[in-house]
Homo-oligomer: A and B are copies of this chain.
């Protein structure tokens, strides 16, 4: 053990969660789980290591290798630490496709790793909530996911001023381009790539890219107009098309169920990945200094086909990273109410009372549901009080030799500093 001293810091891009941080994190995770359980989503889990093939099949081998921690095991298998959950859940659905009770409404909230340069909102180790509906083609499944996203945020105390769900539809994107420019789906896909990175390039580059695809100034103007349109105006450009109908139905449902104030049509949302086929959405933080997409999702209809021939299981869902969401929660001061203190008692120790008496007193608090522990050690009473204050205890139970003999306990409230004397068998009264 006489090695040089080791570093005390966590690996680059990962975090230690000391109890204070872990408590904040648990409040957040517990809130998400409560919302989803209330909505009858079912939790699943999968392994942290998967075959690298799984990611290569979805994103291409080069990208998969670049973005993941991957290595070969001693049996020559190429493995990766999961960078996302979608391939795992698609594999699981394929694994039991004949037995599952469709439509599935599933969620998971696992840890994962992405190999990238750590920066604000992006770390190498993160947790990602995944919510998905499998086996329902209708727009009600898209709605179900968007509602879950909204409810997760509002159940934390967020309101419509704090975030907005920007919604588009890939089918509508194709339909409206066909109607405005005559482009087919293949050309529309090329346009979607340009729309997707519009915010990252200059206006000149953007226009040149569209011109290179054969669009004239008039067509580019028509596309420009789309960015500012509401859903009614936009869908009127290709009325009756499959995409316009789907988008219209979704917004109609959002409107009638009170979700309209949280949602807006945004032609600029296409989401880069090729596998999206219908509704796509991104949830934006409305805070002026953090106005950007926090998370998103959409409909993808063929992932299970990677595993099973002729399997068509439609899917729609979203993924939500913990780092971005924790920024949102702290920016908007959410989840504070949940911090309200419930009683938590430290039993102080005095040398003239046997430890077993303190253990028994402690058990009495626990039995009625009040978290309690006996002070470990033999420091002076004042130090024990300091320990209780720093440790987040709300009360200290005091039972010295005199109290023991009298069958009493003094309970000190650490907020008010008041002490009340009570019979030992009613020590927890009004705490639980």
Contacts and interface: CB of A to CB of B under 8 A. Distances in A.
Interface of A: 1, 3, 5-12, 14-19, 22-23, 25-26, 37-51, 53-54, 57, 69, 71, 73-75, 77, 79, 81, 91-92, 94-96, 101, 103, 105-106, 111, 113, 115, 124-125, 133, 136, 138, 140-141, 143-144, 147, 253, 256-257, 302, 305-309, 344, 346, 354-356, 359-360, 363, 366, 369, 371-374, 376-378, 387, 390-391, 393
B26 A43 contact: yes
A46 B22 CA distance: 10
Contacts of A307: 5-8
A74 B67 CA distance: 11
A425 B48 CA distance: 46
**Copies of this chain in the oligomer:** 2
25 contacts: A1-B305, A1-B306, A3-B53, A5-B307, A6-B306, A8-B94, A10-B50, A11-B49, A11-B79, A14-B49, A22-B43, A23-B42, A39-B371, A39-B372, A40-B391, A74-B115, A101-B387, A103-B377, A133-B376, A140-B374, A141-B376, A143-B359, A253-B356, A257-B356, A257-B360
Given A26-B43, A39-B366, A143-B359, 7 more contacts: A3-B57, A6-B57, A7-B307, A8-B307, A10-B50, A40-B372, A71-B71
B49 A7 contact: no
Contacts of A42: 19, 22-23
A83 B9 CA distance: 18
A315 B262 CA distance: 51
Contacts of A12: 75, 77
Contacts of A19: 42-44, 106
A74 B13 CA distance: 14
A203 B377 CA distance: 43
A24 to B, nearest CB: 11
Given A11-B47, A53-B6, A103-B376, A38 B371 contact: yes
B37 A359 contact: no
A37 B30 CA distance: 15
A84 B308 CA distance: 37
A22 B46 CA distance: 10
A164 B300 CA distance: 52
A330 B64 CA distance: 39
A256 B354 contact: yes
Given A7-B51, A49-B11, A136-B376, A356 B16 contact: no
B16 A45 contact: yes
Contact of A22 (B6, B7, B44, B105): B44
A27 to B, nearest CB: 12
A51 to B, nearest CB: 6
A344 B307 CA distance: 33
Contacts of A308: 5, 8
A155 to B, nearest CB: 10
Contacts of A344: 40
Contacts of A96: 18
B376 A51 contact: no
Nearest to A19: B42
Contacts of A46: 10, 16-17
For the complex of A and B, the 7 pairs showing the least CB-CB separation, nearest first, are A14-B47, A256-B356, A17-B45, A19-B42, A40-B373, A8-B95, A71-B71
A60 to B, nearest CB: 10
Name, among A16, A26, A125, the residue most crowded by chain B CB atoms within 10 Å (CB to CB).
A16
A376 B5 contact: no
Contact of A16 (B47, B363, B376): B47
